[in-house]
A = this chain, B = another copy of it.
């Protein structure tokens, strides 16, 4: 007898997480012998705890197909990490209660590091509570910091966005530098790992073009060396474009974005390492500067998604279902690179216990000796991940993104856990 599946989006969303959702749902629809309906959690795993389930069978094949073209999380995502069973047994009992009420036999969590840990804990339900469940993690994170997999679905698209943006802004600044801005600083995501910052480096096609300097969270900020490098580039090329990670910190591990700035009320200013550095450049070097903070624009930019990334995002969704129906519990499909030139990849499998809570930072040999740029080795790794365009359809000048009906499943349990 087929059992139902539960699918939830988890953590920060991406331009292509919905492609993974499409991969899960469309593949499940092909495995009617094993999988009945796919219920999605409204706002991620919180939807499971509150029994707020969405019946994806109410969505047309066309709507599910359009998920490939739509950024954000179509069912709502959540930042919510389960504690261990020992520490919060009640939460797991509630999960089992809801799963049992809706005959959930398959659990798919679509997320990054924290989510992999949550998925691992859910995968232990069968063993620890006797409730039979197959849990598979669907990898997704713009941070590209999951271990084992060659890259993380979601990263390639943000990489393509930031590299394109840096390339374009570089053309702008270069053409104005004679009488206007000399230093441009662009801040991107990546609190602990510099992958997104590194991707900006792909924009540099020859020495002297943007970006001239990259500042990684892996390399403690050295103010003197930074200012000297900025000055050197402005002297030599007339301008200097800097890409910086939001997670840039000093040698004591203190985030730059958290230090110093106070608002009119005396509160520390929130975020913004780019304006911080711009101010430094202005006050120490007396050079005109501009800065950009892409923030959510970068991870929502479906209009400039990477085709490779989109295909991989779909593929891990499909593979997760295929693994689950084979009875593989507590695993995660991975991307295995079989060749860089030409780029070839296939799907592999990792044990969740090897994935959860492991953070993959940039290898030191992906960063140049001076700490300010990427090496050729890094380029070889990154380049294929941004390859190919996959434009969404447009209507009246804007991308045409889908909003699902998100029909709720009738509740069957008495609500025991309050909404988080």
B13 and A172 contact, CB distance less than 8 A: yes
Query: Which B residues are CB-close (under 8 A) to A386?
Result: 396-398
Q: Which residue in chain B gives the minimum CB-CB distance to A184?
A: B296
Which of these, B73, B294, B389, contacts A175 with CB under 8 Å?
Answer: B73
* A contacts with B, residue count (CB < 8 A): 89
The distance in angstroms between the C-alpha atoms of A175 and B44, with both chains bound, is: 9
Contact B398 A202 (CB under 8 A): yes
Beta-carbon contacts under 8 Å, A353-404 to B: 383-389, 391, 394, 396-399, 401
Residue of B nearest to A166 (CB): B297
Q: Mark A283-300, 1 if CB is under 8 A from B, else 0.
A: 100000111111111011
**Residues in B neighbouring A72, C-beta threshold 8 A:** 168, 171-172, 174-175
| A160 at interface, CB cutoff 8 A | yes
Partner of A270, one of B173, B282, B301, B387: B282
B168 close to A303 (CB less than 8 A): yes
Which residues of chain A in 259-275 are interfacial with respect to chain B, using CB atoms and an 8 Å cutoff? 259-265, 267, 269-272, 274-275
With A175-B73, A178-B46: A293-B296 Cβ-Cβ less than 8 Å: no
Complex CA gap A283/B292 in Å reads: 23
> CB distance A299 to B263 under 8 Å?
no
Is A179 interfacial (CB-CB < 8 Å)? Answer: yes
Most central of A186, A262, A263, A304 by chain B CB within 10 Å: A263
Cβ A71 vs Cβ B295 within 8 A: no
Let me know if A13 and B175 touch, CB within 8 A.
yes
A359 and B389 alpha carbons, distance in the complex (Å): 39
In the complex, A274→B296 CA distance in Å? Answer: 13
In the complex, identify which listed stretch (A74-82, A85-93, A112-120, A129-137) lies at the interface while the others stay far away: A74-82
B46 touches A179 (CB 8 A): yes
Distance in angstroms between the alpha carbons of A301 and B297 in the assembled complex: 13
Within 8 A of B (CB), among A136-181: 160, 163-165, 167-169, 171-176, 178-181
**With A164-B303, A184-B296, A399-B167 as contacts: A71 and B383 at CB distance below 8 Å:** no
Residues of B within 8 A of A275 (CB): 269-272, 275
Rounded to whole angstroms, the CA-CA distance of A265 and B80 in the bound complex is 39
B residues in contact with A167, CB < 8 Å:
398-399, 401
A residues bordering B, Cβ < 8 Å? 9, 12-13, 15, 43-44, 46, 70-80, 160, 163-165, 167-169, 171-176, 178-181, 184, 186, 202-203, 259-265, 267, 269-272, 274-276, 278-279, 282-283, 289-297, 299-304, 306, 383-389, 391, 394, 396-399, 401, 420
